[in-house]
A and B are shown apart, each in its own frame.
Chain A
Amino acid sequence: MKVRALTAKNAGLIACESCHKLIDKGHSKTNEPICPRCNASVSQRKKDSLNRTWALLVSALVLYIPANLFPIMTLISFGKESKETILSGIHQLFVSGQWVIAIVVLFASVFVPIFKIIALSFLVISIHVGMSWQPVLRTRLYRFVEWIGRWSMIDIFMISVLIALVKLKELATVEAGPGAMAFAAVVILTMFASKAFDPRLIWDRLEGEDNGQ
C-alpha cells in the first residue's frame, strides 16, 4: 500500500519560508496570511512558481546571445584597441598558460550559466509532465543550481577591478563593454529564476496532487 507522506501541505499547515515556523492554515482569515513570528507573508507553495521561472529563464536565454557576441571590455594601449569577449578572454588565459584561472573562468562564465538554464528548464518541464523519476536527485540538482549561480559574477568583478585599476591614459586604459551588461543580466535573471522555482513541487507531483495555488 502506498502511504502518502505527511507534508505540511497535507496536514493543512503552512511553513514560513523565512523563519520556518509552521502555521495553521485555518487560523488566518485573510487571503494573504502573515507569519506570526517573523511577519513575512506566507503561502504553502511559491506563487506562480513555474510561470515566473519560465519567464526569467527565457529572458536569460535571450540575453545570453548579446552577452557572448559583444565585447565585455576593451583594452586601449598606445592607441591600439583590443576588444575582449567572454570566450576570447578565456582563450587568452589558456594561451598565456594560466590553466587554473582559465578553467575557473570557463566554468563560472560559460558552463554555469548554460548549466543553470538547462537544469532549471529540465526541472520545470519535469513538473509540467508529472515526472516521478528520482525526486531526491532532482532536489539535489536544484540545491546545486541555487548554490553555484552566484559564482558567475566573477567576470563582472574582474572587469570592475580592471577598469578601476588600469587607467594610465595613453599608456593603458580598460573600458567596460556592452557584453558585460548583458552578461550581468543573465546571471541575475538566472539567480531570480532559481529563487522563483519551488522544489516542493517536485514532491507534490510524486504524491499525485495538483499544484494549484
Chain B
Amino acid sequence: MTGSGPLEAGNSSNMKVRLACPECDLLHENQKIKTGHSSYCRRCGAILFRGQKDSLDRTLAYACTGLVFFLLANISPILVFKMRGNLSANQLVDGALAFLSSGYWPLGILVLFASVIAPLMVLCFLVSILLPLKYHRLPIFPEWQIRTLLALRPWAMAEIFVIGIMVAFVKLRDFADVGIGGSLVGIICMVSAMVLAFLSLDHRELWKRLEELKK
C-alpha cells in the first residue's frame, strides 16, 4: 500500500497532491511506486493505479493478440448441433442476427454490441492509441479515443458470452449431439488477451506520455 492520507486540511499548500481516490475522493500524494505494484486508497481500499513494467507496450501486445484471435473467432463455427442426420452450426454474429430477424431487435442490437462490436472497438482503440505512442507520434483525437474506450469497457461482454456459450452447450447436450467448433477457442483466447490488456494498462503512464508528446 502506498499513497498518503488522510491528510489534515490546511497542510495542503505545502504538499504536492496529485490524485483523488475515484471512490471516496481522498487526496493522495503522487508517489513513485515499485514496478509491478499497484497503489490503493488508504481510506477505502479502491485501486488508484496499477504500476506495471512496460505497461503500454504490454497492453499494445495483448491488444494486437486479441485482434488476431478476434479474426480467428469469426472464421469457424462456435458450436455444431446434430440431430437425426441434420446439422446446424452457429458463428459469432449469428445469435445477434437471429434476434434481429425474430422481432426481438432490441436484444439483437444489445447482443451484437456486447459480444461483437464493443470488444472489437475496445481492441481497435487500444491499438490506435498505443501504436502511434510507441513511435512517439500523437494518436488521432487521443482524448476522445481514451474516453470512448473507458466508456465502452463495461459493455464489452465477450467473457460473459463465453459462459453463455457453455450454458447453451450443456443444455443442448441432454437433447442432441453438440460439438465444439474452432471459434470457441478463438473467442476464449481473445477474451484472455483483452482482460490482460486492461490489467496491464497504467492510465497514469498513458496520460504522462500523451502530455509529453503534446508539449
Seen from chain A, the residues whose Cβ lies within 8 Å of a Cβ on chain B are: 3-11, 13, 15, 17-22, 37-40, 89, 92-93, 96, 98, 101, 104-105, 108, 135-136, 139-140, 142-143, 150-151, 153-158, 160-168, 171-172, 175-176, 180-181, 184, 188, 191, 195, 199-200, 202-204
- For A39, the chain B residues whose CB sits under 8 A away are 143-144, 147
Question: Which of B39-47, B54-62, B66-74, B126-134 participates in binding chain A?
Answer: B39-47
Seen from chain B, the residues whose Cβ lies within 8 Å of a Cβ on chain A are: 5-9, 11-12, 17-20, 22-27, 43-46, 78-79, 81, 83-84, 86, 88-90, 94-99, 102, 104, 106-107, 110-111, 114-115, 143-144, 146-147, 150, 154, 157, 160-161, 163-168, 170-172, 174-176, 203, 207, 211
- For A176, the chain B residues whose CB sits under 8 A away are 99, 102, 104, 107
Report the Cα distance A151→B114, complex, angstroms.
12
Report the Cα distance A139→B43, complex, angstroms.
10
User: Separation in Å of the B107 CB from the closest CB of chain A?
Assistant: 6
- For B84, the chain A residues whose CB sits under 8 A away are 171
Check if A154 sits within 8 Å of B25, measured CB to CB. Answer: no
Check if B106 sits within 8 Å of A181, measured CB to CB. Answer: yes
Check if A171 sits within 8 Å of B83, measured CB to CB. Answer: yes
User: Separation in Å of the A210 CB from the closest CB of chain B?
Assistant: 15
Of the A-B pairs whose beta carbons lie under 8 Å apart in the complex, a sample of 5, sorted by A's number, is A8-B20, A8-B25, A22-B18, A156-B107, A181-B106
User: Separation in Å of the B37 CB from the closest CB of chain A?
Assistant: 18
- For B5, the chain A residues whose CB sits under 8 A away are 5-6
Nearest CB to that of A136 among chain B residues? B44
User: Separation in Å of the B38 CB from the closest CB of chain A?
Assistant: 14
Check if B27 sits within 8 Å of A8, measured CB to CB. Answer: yes
The answer, among A4, A9, A161, for a CB contact under 8 Å with B164, is A161
Given A38-B147, A160-B95, A175-B102, the answer on whether A202 and B24 have CB atoms closer than 8 Å is yes
Check if A93 sits within 8 Å of B203, measured CB to CB. Answer: no
Given A150-B157, A161-B79, A200-B24, the answer on whether A135 and B44 have CB atoms closer than 8 Å is yes
Check if A38 sits within 8 Å of B43, measured CB to CB. Answer: no
Report the Cα distance A12→B150, complex, angstroms.
26
User: Separation in Å of the B157 CB from the closest CB of chain A?
Assistant: 6
The answer, among A38, A140, A160, A162, for a CB contact under 8 Å with B111, is A160
Check if A7 sits within 8 Å of B20, measured CB to CB. Answer: yes
Check if B20 sits within 8 Å of A154, measured CB to CB. Answer: no
Check if A166 sits within 8 Å of B88, measured CB to CB. Answer: yes
User: Separation in Å of the B7 CB from the closest CB of chain A?
Assistant: 4
User: Separation in Å of the B126 CB from the closest CB of chain A?
Assistant: 16
Q: Which of A166, A200, A203 has the most CB of B within 10 A?
A: A166
Report the Cα distance A34→B165, complex, angstroms.
42
User: Separation in Å of the A79 CB from the closest CB of chain B?
Assistant: 15
Report the Cα distance A84→B78, complex, angstroms.
23
- For B107, the chain A residues whose CB sits under 8 A away are 156, 160, 176, 180-181, 184
